[in-house]
Amino acid sequence: MELGRVGVWHPLIGKAPADEARRAAAEIERLGYGSIWVNEGRGSKDPIVIAGVVLAATERVVVATGIASVWARDATAMAAGAVAVADAHPGRFLLGIGVSHESMVGTRGHDYSRPLAKMRAYLDEMDAALPTLPKADTPRVLAALRPKMLELSRESADGAHTYFVPPEHTALAREILGAGRLLVPEQAFVLESDPARAREIAREHMSYYLGLPNYLNSLRHLGFTDDDFAAGGSDRLADAIVAWGDPEAIAARVRAHLDAGADQVALQALTPGAPSLADALSQLRTLAPALGL
Instruction: Give domain status of residue 1, yes or no.
Output: no
Q: What is the pLDDT of residue 100?
A: 76
Q: Judge whether 95 lies within some domain.
A: yes
**Interval 245-265: pLDDT, tens:** 999 999 999 999 999 999 999
Helix or strand run (H / E) with residue 147: helix 147-156
What pLDDT, in 10s, does the model give residues 47-91? 999 999 999 999 999 999 999 999 999 999 999 999 999 999 999
Q: Which domain holds residue 93?
A: 6-291
pTM of the model: 0.96
Residue 57: inside a domain: yes
* 37 domain residue, yes or no: yes
Nearest 5°: the CA angle 12, 25, 174 is 80
Q: 116 lies in a domain?
A: yes
**33 belongs to a structural domain:** yes
Lowest mean pLDDT among 38-42, 56-60, 160-164, 191-195: 38-42
How many domains does the chain fold into? 1
Pairing of strands 93-98, 140-143: parallel
- What CATH number is given to the structural domain containing 179? 3.20.20.30
